[in-house]
Amino acid sequence: MKTARRGPGHCLVVIVIVAAVGLTPPLLWGQQVSLPPVDLGATSFMDGVGGPGVFLQEILGPYHASKFTGAAGQTLPGSNTLTAMGTITELAYTSSKFRLLGGYYCTELLIPLAHVDVRTDLGIRGSDGGLGDIIYAPLMVQWPEHKIFGKTIFQRFDADLIFPTGEYSHNRPVNLGNNLFSFNPNYSITLFLMPKLETTWRLHYLWNSRNSDPSPVYNAGSIQPGQATHFNASVSYLLRPKLRLGVAGYYLKEVTDPKIGRVSTINQRELIGAIGPGLWVAAKPLEIYAHAFIEMGAENRPQGVRFMVRLVKVFPKKQQSRK
């Protein structure tokens, strides 16, 4: 079965952001501890497809929100806006020699940069730009093509570690870093329903450590965001050899209560969903992915419109010539 692949060097596409930004939510929603940024919509069509080689990607993620929501999804009063531009440079490598659990061993590094501007009637007014929290995956496994019930599938597991490298100060209303460590493992699968029709899912789990230097407004020695599940999902159809159109979306739900000190807070869990159109174009030497997402159903976080543009270059491993 012939499939429209991005190329054998693809091993990973990962996290992009509202921006690589940590807002200081106590000024937004009372004493709220918000989740750090995660991959919402950054991965889409044929994400699970991959093989040996080097993968280089640049992700651009403009975001604008003018609605801030509370625990019941109600719009908070006032004139509130959040505008952000996040970029991530990603370098991933998939080995052809080292195998693990029947798949290829992979590793990757992601370096985020961001600029954010916040203007609210609820307490935050400020902007900042620079380096965000770096993501490194020491362990990834990319499985080759398999068949299930006659359908072609590709799969990948990824153990992402997010390090507190971004600028942070407990006195700033806007921070590019979150001052905590996160573990964000994920599993990607691409299933070809028909030769030109595929669906892709990436399922994540997010665990966060404590921030031991929180804003004084918390009146506590530490804060800790809750744990969360989130996923990206997409369906696309190959209209032409170099053009694929489809629909993509994402969903995030915080599943445990955040903590201020050792005390769990109630009615502060975050929730958001989004859906929108997307396309893939193969324009040598790059592959281009473009998406627009309209967010909905937000609770305890901003709700707005997100755009994603991904520029991808794959350097597949050369096959050795036979003697």
pLDDT tens by residue, 179-216: 999 999 999 999 999 999 999 999 999 999 999 999 99
Q: For residue 5, is it within any domain?
A: no
**Residue 27 phi/psi, 5° resolution?**
-80, -20
Nearest to 284 by CA among 255, 260, 312: 312
Q: For residue 298, is it within any domain?
A: yes
Residue appearing with tokens 């991904």: 310
Confidence of residue 9 (pLDDT cuts 50, 70, 90): very low
Give the domain CATH number at 237.
2.40.160.40
Q: Could you give the dihedral angle defined by the CA atoms of residues 101, 38, 48 and 153, in that order, rounded to the nearest 10 degrees?
A: 80
State which H helix or E strand residue 165 sits in.
none
Q: Are 229 and 255 in contact (CB under 8 A)?
A: yes
**Residue 26 phi/psi, 5° resolution?**
-55, -30
Q: For residue 1, is it within any domain?
A: no
Confidence of residue 31 (pLDDT cuts 50, 70, 90): low
**Structural domain range at position 172:** 22-73+80-316
SS (H, E, C) 220-256: CCCEECCCEEEEEEEEEEEEECCEEEEEEEEEEEECC
- What does the pLDDT read at residue 76? 87
Q: Are 136 and 158 in contact (CB under 8 A)?
A: no
Amino acid identity at 183: F
Q: For residue 11, is it within any domain?
A: no
Q: For residue 13, is it within any domain?
A: no
- Across all residues in the chain, what is the average pLDDT? 88
Q: Are strands 243-254 and 228-240 parallel, antiparallel or unpaired?
A: antiparallel
Asked whether the predicted pLDDT for residue 47 surpasses 80, the reply is yes
Q: For residue 12, is it within any domain?
A: no
Q: For residue 39, is it within any domain?
A: yes
Q: For residue 128, is it within any domain?
A: yes
Please count the structural domains in the chain. 1
